[in-house]
Amino acid sequence: MNDVGPLLTPRMREQRGRWTDWGPPSPAVSVSDIRRWAIAVYWPHTPPRLYWDEEYAQTTRWGGVIAPAEFNPFAWPIEPQRSRRALDGQTSPRVRRVNGGSRIRFGVPVRPGDRITARSQLVEWRAKRGRSGDLLFVDFRHQWRNQRGEDVRDAVHTLVYH
């Protein structure tokens, strides 16, 4: 199936391969941010000391507290942010989307004081015929980097439009 009809919008075609910055960097990450995230992730168990005990963390190969890999410095925005769905292109109430999965490569861990920048790119799409009709699989790439230019996270998230 090559025709994706109304599922693939002109805006999506225009944005393919273009990087879009998410805006300003995250606020500086604090030990408290990391500790609270680790408590939430490991609840009701005690999180590993690497994520909250500065004295212990200094004895590890990391030389200090680091955040769990899934830590999100953008989870608590100070100001409302524009929707990350800007490339969504959903123009019809009949068009729905579902999560089609993610592939994530983690780089260096987030540390206290880090400010993370993020950018996104519509990478590609694939059309298929499903039991419920036409499907469009759209891959969006999201890159996070710290203030030293080191890769923190590189993810490809797939959305399925039908």
82: nearest Cα among 108, 56, 118, 52: 118
Higher pLDDT among residues 52 and 20, named by residue: 52
Higher pLDDT among residues 85 and 52, named by residue: 52
pLDDT at 69: 94
Per DSSP (E only), the strands in the chain are 19-21, 97-106, 117-130, 133-145, 151-161
Where is average pLDDT lowest: 29-33, 50-54, 129-133?
Answer: 129-133
Tokens 């408590």 locate to 39
User: Where are the chain's structural domains?
Assistant: 5-26+82-161, 30-72
Instruction: Calculate mean pLDDT across residues 64-73.
Output: 96
pLDDT at 6: 66
User: Which superfamily does 5-26+82-161 belong to?
Assistant: Hotdog Thioesterase (3.10.129.10)
Question: Cα-flanking dihedrals φ and ψ of residue 151, to 5°?
Answer: -70, 130
Q: How far is CA 70 from CA 5, 38, 82, in A?
A: 36, 10, 22
pLDDT in tens, 73-131: 988 776 665 544 444 444 455 667 788 899 999 999 999 999 999 999 999 888 888 78
What percentage of the chain exceeds 90 in pLDDT? 55
pLDDT at 95: 67
